[in-house]
A and B are shown apart, each in its own frame.
Chain A
Amino acid sequence: MPADGVPLLKVEDLRVSFGRDEPRGTVVKGVSFTLHPGRCLGIVGESGSGKSVTARSIVGLAGLGGFVHAKTIAFNGHSLIGQADRQWRRIRGRHIGYILQDALTSLDQLRSVGREVGEGLELHGVTRSAAERDARVVELLTSVGLPDPAIKARQLPSELSGGQRQRALIASALALDPELLIADEPTTALDVTVQAQVLDLLEQTKARGKALILISHDLAVVSRMADEVIVMCNGDVVEQGPAAEIFARPRHGYTRRLIDAIPSAHRRGSRLAPASAPRLRVAEEVRPEAVASGPLLEASGLVKRFRGPDKILRTAVAGVSFALAQGETLGIVGESGSGKSTVARIVMALEEPDEGYVRLNGLPWTGIAERERRARRRFIAMVYQDPLSSFDPRWTIERIIADAIPDTEAHRPGRVSELLNLVSLPASHRGRRALDLSGGQRQRVAVARAVASRPNVIVCDEPVSALDVSVQAQILDLLGDLKRELGVSYLFISHDLGVVHHVSDRVLVMSGGEVVESSEADDVFLAPRHPYSRTLLAAVPRLPIAPAA
C-alpha cells in the first residue's frame, strides 16, 4: 500500500449519533481510515450498518439532528471539523463529488439534464459564459458514455432511462473534477449490464488518479473496485483491511456470513444461512393436495401488448411458452422491461393474454370468467417483491394470514400459529402490524400467506430483491425447505442471476418479451448458448473466491 505523502483524506475515530439517546442513538461507532489519490475504499454493510451516514458525515451532511465527533477528518491536510456551511459548500462539488443511489430523486425533475450537470460549473465560477458551460456539459456527458449527449443535455431526467440518469448524475459529480468521489450504492437500482457500464466508468475515474469511496451492500461490486475494505455492522467496524485479503480470508464471523450468504458462491440448491439456523419441520397435514399427472402449469404462446401513453401498441410479451412440473422450480431471468413480470401477472390471471393460453392443473386458466376461476385461485399463490404494499395497512399479521385460509378450514384453531411456525416466525408476532416487522419478517409473512391455501404453484416475483444478502439467504432457504417439505412448485422471477441459478431446476432467459434461452439451470449459467445470456452473465460482478462446496 503506498502510504507515502499526505493522504487525501484522513478520518480518525468518527462517531455519529442522533438525538440525545446515547449510546442507542449512536449509529457510527468509531471509523478510521486514510485514503490516497488513485485508491478506492469500499464500505460494505447491510441496511442500518451506518455505512451511508459515515460517508455523509465526511462531507458535513450527517443529517438533521446528527452529532458528528471525530479526532480527525482531514482533507488534503486541512481539517474539516467545525466548518461553517459556507466553507462546506466550497469543498463539496469542487473537491469532493457525491453520487447518490437514486438518480431520479437526486436530479431536479423540472430542469434539463444539461442544466443539472452545469449547475456546479456555474456556482463555482469555473466557466465564464453560457456557451463555454454548455460545451463543457456535452464534453462531460460524452465522457460518461451517454449516447447523443447534445440531445440528452436538453432532455428532462424523466426522459432518460435509469442507467442514463445514473451516468448523468456521475457526470454532475465529475463536473468540477473533484479529487475525491463518494458513491453511495451507485448501481443498486440498475440492471446488471448497465451496472457493469457504470462500474467501468468509476474505474476509469480511479485510473485517472481520483480517490473513490464506494459504499455498497453488494460484496461482489466492492470486490471489483476496492483496494481497501471496511465491513460495518450496526455502526461498528467489524473488519478492515486490504480487499484481496478480506475476501480471501475473512477473519470476522460477520464477514464470513455475508460472503456465505451469496448464492453464486454455493452449490445450487444448498443452504445459504449458517448451519445453526433451525431446519424446518412440517406436519404431514399441511401438504398441498395432490394433483393428476402432467404439468401443473402450462403456458403456450403467450402474447401481451400494451398501449402506451403515446397510443402506440408495444409488445411486452412476445410468444412465451413453458411448462412447470410438480415439485419443480422454473426460473425466469431478465432485465427490466424484459416482460418477466407481465408473464407473472398473466399466470396469476391478473392480466388476460392477447394470444396464447395458460392451463393450471390440467384445466383452462385464462380465457375463462373470473367467477369460474375464483374457487381455483387457491391452487396458485404469489409472493411479491414488496410485501408491505401487498398487506392491508390496517390489518394485523394474524388477520392477513387468516384471510388467505380457505373458508372450509378457516375456523380450525391454531392454523395461523401453524403457518407462522412454518415460516419460523414466533407466534407472539400475530398481533403485530407489518410495519413493525423487518423486511425479512414481512417476506416470511408473505410466504405464510402464500402457503395458507395449500397451493400447488407459488409465483415469486423478485421475492428477495429488496432484502439484505443475509436475509435474502434465509428467505431462499425457507423457500427451498417448503419446496422439499410441501412439494410445491415455484415460478421464480428475478433479475439476479445468482439467485435464479441457486433456486431453479430450469431457467428461461427473457429479453425484449421473448424467451432467448431455455434449458437446465446449470447449462444456462455454465455454458450459455445465446449471446444475450452470455452478455448478462459476463456483466455480473463476482467475488474472487472459489465456490464453497
Chain B
Amino acid sequence: MSSTDQALVFRAVERRRSAVAAFVRTLPPGVAVAALVIVLFVAAAAAPGHLQTHNPFRTDLYATLQPPSLAHLFGTDQSGRDLFSRVVEGTRQSLTIGIGATGLSLSIALLLGVTAGLAGGAVDAAISRFLEVLFAFPNLFLALLFVTVFAATPATLVIAVGIGTAPGYARMIRGQFLSVKRAGYVEAARTLGHSYGRVVRQHIFPNAMRPLVVMITLGLGQSIVWASGLAFLGLGVAPPSPEWGALLDAGRHYVTRAWWLEVMPGLAIIAFALSATVVSRHLQDRLEGRVHAG
C-alpha cells in the first residue's frame, strides 16, 4: 500500500469517525446511557474475561453469602462465588438465547405475516384464524408445554420463546403489509402500469419492513425477560450455569438472607431490557422522523 493510499484510508476512517461523533452528539443523554449499557453487555458477552474480577466458577467457602463490597461488587453466593463475575459470565448465554429467540420468532412471524398480508383473501383468513388460536393460549403455556415435552436445554428455550412471541409479531407485520398495500403510492404505481411483482418489490416490501429494526431491538429485551422467566421456573438452563434466569432461580432459596442474589441478576435483566427498549424507541423516532422530515 502506497503512502497516498494509506492517507486516503486514513482520511476515510477519519470521516467515518467524525460522522459517528456527530451522530453520538445528537443522542439525548438517556439514549446515550442506554446505548452505553448495551455496548457494555455486548462486551461482556464477547470477552467476559476482561470484565470479570474473579473466576466465576471458583468456590470460596470462607466467603459465602457476602454482601456487595469493593472486593465483591455484587456480593457472593452460597458457595462463595463472585456474583458480579457470574452475571458477566451469564451475559453471553442470556444474549444468545435472546437473539436466537427473537430471530426465530421474527422468522416465523415474517413467513406468516408476509404471506397473509400479501395474499389476502382465504389465505389471510386462514393464517389470521391460526394466529388467533395461538393467541388464545397464554404465551407462557405454549412455552411451558414445549419445555416439558422436550429436554430443558438452551436450544429448547430459544424455540419455546421464539414460538411463544411469534404470533404478536406476525399480526404486526400483516397489519403493516395491509396498510402499505392501501397507500396512495402503491395505487399510483399501479396506474403507471407496473406489474404486481414490481410494485411489491419496489414499494410494499421496503415500506412495510421499515418498522422491523425497531421490532428487533424491542424483541431482544423482551425475549431475554422471557427466557429468564422460564429459567427461573426451572424450565430452561439449569442453576449451575450462570445464565441470568438460572442465577435468579438459584438465589431464591436465600432471598431472606442474601437479597443481592436476586436483586443483582434482576438488575442486569432490567438494565438490558430497559436499554434495548429506550434505544429502539429512539430508533423508531429517528427512522420515522426521517420519513417525515425527508
Contact = CB atoms under 8 A, between A and B. Distances in A.
Main secondary structure of the interface of B (DSSP, over half): helix
A386 interface: yes
A376 B189 CA distance: 14
Interface string B189-229: 11111110000001100110000000000000000000000
Interface string A372-398: 011111101110101001111110000
A431 to B, nearest CB: 11
A37 B189 CA distance: 55
Given A394-B207, A403-B189, A389 B184 contact: yes
B10 interface: no
A393 B184 contact: no
A392 B185 contact: yes
B184 A436 contact: no
A93 B294 CA distance: 40
Interface residues of B, number: 20
A313 interface: no
B293 A350 contact: no
Contacts of A378: 192-193
Contacts of A349: 191
B120 to A, nearest CB: 15
Given A389-B184, A392-B202, A433 B294 contact: yes
Contact of A390 (B188, B202, B293): B188
B294 A389 contact: no
Contacts of A348: 191
B291 interface: yes
Interface string A47-87: 00000000000000000000000000000000000000000
B184 A386 contact: yes
B294 A432 contact: yes
A348 B189 CA distance: 12
A380 B192 CA distance: 8
A393 B207 contact: yes
A434 B190 CA distance: 20
Nearest to A385: B184
A277 interface: no
B285 interface: no
B67 to A, nearest CB: 49
Given A435-B292, A435-B294, A391 B192 contact: no
A453 interface: yes
A434 B292 CA distance: 10
Q: Which of A348, A392, A403 has the most C-beta atoms of chain B within 10 angstroms of its own C-beta?
A: A392
B14 interface: no
Interface in A390-433: 390-394, 403-404, 432-433
Contacts of A436: 294
Nearest to B183: A389
Contacts of B183: 389
A374 B195 contact: yes
A435 B293 contact: yes
Contacts of A403: 189, 192, 194, 202
A434 B192 CA distance: 19
A449 B192 CA distance: 9
Given A382-B188, A392-B203, A375 B294 contact: no
Contacts, number: 60
A382 B202 contact: no
B207 A350 contact: no
B187 A350 contact: yes
A453 B184 contact: no
Nearest to B288: A393
Q: Which of A350, A380, A391, A403 has the most C-beta atoms of chain B within 10 angstroms of its own C-beta?
A: A403
A446 to B, nearest CB: 9
Contacts of B191: 348-350, 377, 380-382
A387 to B, nearest CB: 9
A384 B185 CA distance: 11
Q: Which of B183, B192, B293 has the most C-beta atoms of chain A within 10 angstroms of its own C-beta?
A: B192
B24 to A, nearest CB: 24
A393 B189 contact: no
Contact of A392 (B195, B207, B292, B294): B207
A428 B185 CA distance: 23
B66 to A, nearest CB: 53
Q: Which of B188, B190, B292 has the most C-beta atoms of chain A within 10 angstroms of its own C-beta?
A: B188
A418 B85 CA distance: 67
A348 B190 CA distance: 10
B183 to A, nearest CB: 7
B37 to A, nearest CB: 31
Contacts of B292: 435
B184 A384 contact: yes
A350 B190 CA distance: 8
Contact of A394 (B189, B195, B206): B206
B184 A390 contact: yes
A389 B190 contact: no
Nearest to B189: A403
B192 A377 contact: yes
Q: Which of A376, A381, A390, A391 has the most C-beta atoms of chain B within 10 angstroms of its own C-beta?
A: A390
A294 to B, nearest CB: 23
A390 B187 contact: yes
A276 B15 CA distance: 46
Nearest to A392: B185
A100 B191 CA distance: 37
Contacts of B206: 394
B294 A390 contact: no
A389 B185 contact: yes
B175 to A, nearest CB: 18
A377 B191 CA distance: 6
Contacts of B193: 373-378, 453
B207 to A, nearest CB: 7
Interface string A446-475: 000100010000000000000000000000
Contacts of B293: 435
Given A386-B184, A403-B192, 17 more contacts: A350-B190, A374-B193, A377-B193, A381-B191, A381-B192, A382-B188, A382-B191, A389-B185, A390-B185, A390-B188, A391-B185, A393-B185, A393-B291, A394-B207, A435-B294, A436-B294, A449-B188
24 contacts: A349-B191, A374-B193, A376-B193, A377-B191, A377-B193, A378-B192, A380-B191, A384-B188, A389-B183, A389-B185, A390-B185, A390-B187, A390-B188, A392-B207, A393-B207, A394-B206, A403-B192, A403-B194, A403-B202, A404-B192, A433-B294, A435-B291, A435-B294, A449-B188
Closest 8 CB pairs of A and B: A377-B193, A389-B184, A435-B294, A433-B294, A390-B188, A390-B184, A436-B294, A392-B185
